[in-house]
Amino acid sequence: MGLNDQWMQRDLKVLWHPCTQMKDHEKLPLIPIKRGEGVWLEDFEGKRYLDAVSSWWVNVFGHANPRINQRIKDQVDQLEHVILAGFSHQPVIELSERLVAMTPEGLTRCFYADNGSSCIEVALKMSFHYWLNRGKPDKKRFVTLTNSYHGETMAAMAVGDVPLFTETYKALLMDTIKVPSPDCYHRPEGVSWEEHTRTMFAVMEQTLAEHHDSVAAVIIEPLIQGAGGMRMYDPIYLKLLREACDRYGVHLIHDEIAVGFGRTGTMFACEQAGIRPDFLCLSKALTGGYLPLAACITTDDVYDAFYDDYPTLRAFLHSHSYTGNPLACAAALATLDIFEQDNVIENNKALAQRMKTATAHLVDHPNVAEVRQTGMAIAIEMVQEKASKTPYPWQERRGLKVFEHALTRGALLRPLGSVVYFLPPYVITPEQIDFLADVATEGIDIATRSSVTVAVRENFHPDFRDPG
């Protein structure tokens, strides 16, 4: 038995892995990773895998980045953690100052959580509580987009709409108002992204006109709906939504947990519409993929609604044990240093163009309905019939075949159902992008050539998909 097998067997005796049907590992080998360097992950037998998905979209500057490593090492000798209620520390203060300075003007207050889902919970609770403190207790509902994903804690699931994650627990979830997504995948032929996005906004406008008295906030993933299949839309939606939220007196929550920090081509997706949300939720790439940390950044108006004498009980009594952890803040500060010093956003433009060029041939593939891109995110949607965009039954798990092939070629490509995507670290080279495109093409050819027979239940749900 090789070293990988030894570690795999030890793992399977004691671990329950996330987003995984563990029975899959009776046939699908689990890959234990010993070390990482740059875009590469290396197993215990020396085989390397190019991390095309940034280890669940978090690692932007490569594994074992020496600059982030050193910042954490320096910090651990000074202070590993301190309660953030009644105490503070240098890294969290400096990080907050920098986040306020780099986010849209008017976002002035940072509240920290431990992960993306927790950050969404903070924003939802703050918005509801704001309206309660302002004497409007009826404003307690949330508007969200179909096909959206905001995390896996209860309130975060409630404002999401990917059935694979939410359907099992719907009896436990609060009621929300769902508005059709502006996703441009199903736009009519000949219609531009902007035109389709504008058309789709009409339902949001009508919804806010009818329900604004009971709505606390609208929450969206700006520009890219990640777990919903990397579906994308035009920035005009953000502009129109900001104007409507202002008009109807409703908060706007931007979930930039997956798309913030350069993924869409600008530091933050909201910049592409020139707008400022009332709550900006950040996580994932915030620490360069090193440690759990999230920031919910909001306005003085929201902060002031909670600022009062203690007996009024208007304070925001929400906390996490590791809120604002100094080690995580140190990693985040090092990450922001790299953004500032290495001209990352500008350099990414050339990498994004290379991703577009390297995958352009797949537009003509008989089983590819669309190759879509926003910044450093590109998605290739496999279908069984191109003209009608008829999807493969999710039970056939076509994306899994791409994943399995990619592993044999030394690449970590974890598709979302039948959507193959690249969200690579920003330190990837043009040649490595070409390699990923070759591997993806081979995998798509294998996956779409294969004949798969599965039993499709009567309650077949076409929107189910494997999680990425």
Distance CA 290, CA 94 (A): 18
DSSP 316-338: -----TTTT-HHHHHHHHHHHHH
Asked if residue 243 lies in contact with residue 211, where contact means CB atoms within 8 angstroms, the answer is no
Q: Given the structure tokens 């490593």, which residue do they identify?
A: 69
Distance CA 386, CA 438 (A): 21
Is 321 annotated as belonging to a binding site?
A: yes
Is 284 annotated as belonging to a binding site?
A: yes
Is 10 annotated as belonging to a binding site?
A: no
Is 212 annotated as belonging to a binding site?
A: no
Give the C-alpha distances (Å, rounded to integers) separating 219 from 123, 177, 316: 9, 11, 20
Is 57 annotated as belonging to a binding site?
A: no
Amino acid at 203: V
The DSSP 8-state label assigned to residue 22 in this structure reads: G
Asked if residue 273 lies in contact with residue 236, where contact means CB atoms within 8 angstroms, the answer is yes
Is 365 annotated as belonging to a binding site?
A: no
Structure tokens at 308: 């009062």
Bridge-based pairing state of the strands 377-382 and 419-422: antiparallel
Structure tokens at 398: 């076509």
Structure tokens at 155: 């309130």
Q: Which residues 6+ apart lie within 8 Å of 460 measured at CB?
A: 393
Is 255 annotated as belonging to a binding site?
A: yes
Q: Where are the alpha helices (DSSP H) in 174-264?
A: 193-211, 236-248
Is 414 annotated as belonging to a binding site?
A: yes
Amino acid at 414: R
Asked if residue 142 lies in contact with residue 217, where contact means CB atoms within 8 angstroms, the answer is yes
Give the C-alpha distances (Å, rounded to integers) separating 429 from 50, 59, 286, 344, 423: 11, 15, 22, 13, 13
Amino acid at 433: I
Residues present in the chain in total? 468
Is 55 annotated as belonging to a binding site?
A: no
Is 117 annotated as belonging to a binding site?
A: yes
Residues contributing to the annotated binding site for pyridoxal 5'-phosphate: 116-117, 255, 320-321
Q: Which residues line the annotated binding site? A: 56, 116-117, 149, 255, 284, 319-321, 414
Binding residues for substrate: 56, 149, 284, 319, 414
